[in-house]
């Protein structure tokens, strides 16, 4: 079946932000007397804001309610992004090029204010047909909800969409949605070998993405 749309993850695919999320969550946890551990950021990747803020309260011991935790993390991230959006190499060029070929969507675990801020600061907002935060669906990744909602808003059947992902939970979410998946692994937070092997294509960088998508179309 011909490819009709391409749906991107945001963190780790278009922006080099996983380390930023990790450092801010760690700072907040330590400042408030919580118990940070080395695997915490990896475990929170793909969770919705409702899920990771509960994790920070229940597992890391941050003594705030989940809404307060989410607001504090988002505020610090917004400050960082206003200083500099950590775009990955060729992110802007890739989006601009692919938008001439396919309708584009965004299915992100980031909070809605962060998605909107990044797209505003980079000028990419007009190039996406639909954007969805996992805040807006029942469950975050690895559940398929955010990808299914992005496809619905784009008016495209999930099986006619390709998803571009970097993390284990993201790859699994897109697969469970019935989409074709291109993995762009990050060396700092690589997906599991099992998830990587289940992806339909694996590329080393965004520069290789167009070629991989063309083979699916």
Regarding whether 196 and 130 lie in a shared domain, the answer is yes
Regarding whether 27 and 92 lie in a shared domain, the answer is no
pLDDT in tens, 31-71: 999 999 999 998 998 898 999 999 999 999 999 999 999 99
Q: How many domains does the chain have?
A: 2
Domain that holds residue 52: 18-83
Regarding whether 193 and 95 lie in a shared domain, the answer is yes
DSSP string for 24-69? HHHHHHHHTT----TTHHHHHTT--HHHHHHHHHHTS--SS-HHHH
Regarding whether 98 and 62 lie in a shared domain, the answer is no
Task: Say if CB 103 and CB 4 are below 8 A apart.
Answer: yes
Task: Say if CB 143 and CB 136 are below 8 A apart.
Answer: no
Regarding whether 151 and 68 lie in a shared domain, the answer is no
Mean pLDDT of the chain: 96
Give the CATH number, domain containing residue 186: 3.40.50.1000
Tell me how far CA of residue 212 lies from CA of 22, 26, 162, 168, in angstroms: 30, 36, 10, 19
Confidence of residue 165 (pLDDT cuts 50, 70, 90): very high
The rounded distance, in Å, linking the Cα atoms of 8 and 13 is: 7
Q: Residues 136, 183, 14, 43: what is their CA dihedral angle, to the nearest 10 degrees?
A: 60
Regarding whether 45 and 112 lie in a shared domain, the answer is no
The rounded distance, in Å, linking the Cα atoms of 106 and 150 is: 7
pLDDT in tens, 104-139: 999 999 999 999 999 999 999 999 999 999 999 999
Regarding whether 174 and 92 lie in a shared domain, the answer is yes
Task: Say if CB 216 and CB 3 are below 8 A apart.
Answer: yes
Confidence of residue 216 (pLDDT cuts 50, 70, 90): confident
Regarding whether 97 and 204 lie in a shared domain, the answer is yes
pLDDT in tens, 64-92: 999 999 999 999 999 999 999 999 999 99
Regarding whether 177 and 152 lie in a shared domain, the answer is yes
- Report the pLDDT value the prediction gives residue 73, as an integer from 0 to 100: 97
- Residue 216 token pair: 């699916």
């Amino acid at each position: 079946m011909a490819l009709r749309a391409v749906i991107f993850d945001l963190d780790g695919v278009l922006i080099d932000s996983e380390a930023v999320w990790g450092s801010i969550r760690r700072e907040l946890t330590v400042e408030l007397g919580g118990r940070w551990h080395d695997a915490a950021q990896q475990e929170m990747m793909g969770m919705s804001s409702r899920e990771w803020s509960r994790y920070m309260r229940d597992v890391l011991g941050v003594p705030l309610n989940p809404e307060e935790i989410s607001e504090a993390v988002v505020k610090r991230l917004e400050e960082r992004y206003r200083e500099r959006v950590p775009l990955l190499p060729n992110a802007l060029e890739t989006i601009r090029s692919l938008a001439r070929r396919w309708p584009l969507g965004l299915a992100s675990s980031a909070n809605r204010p962060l998605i909107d801020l990044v797209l505003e600061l980079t000028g990419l907002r007009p190039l996406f047909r639909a954007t969805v935060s996992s805040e807006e669906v029942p469950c975050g990744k690895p559940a398929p909800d955010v990808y299914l909602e992005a496809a619905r808003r784009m008016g495209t059947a999930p099986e006619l969409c390709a998803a571009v992902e970097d993390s284990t939970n993201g790859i699994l979410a897109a697969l469970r949605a019935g989409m074709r998946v291109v993995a762009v692994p990050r060396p700092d937070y690589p997906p599991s070998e099992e998830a990587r092997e289940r992806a339909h294509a694996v590329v080393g960088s965004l520069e290789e993405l167009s070629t991989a998508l063309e083979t699916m179309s």
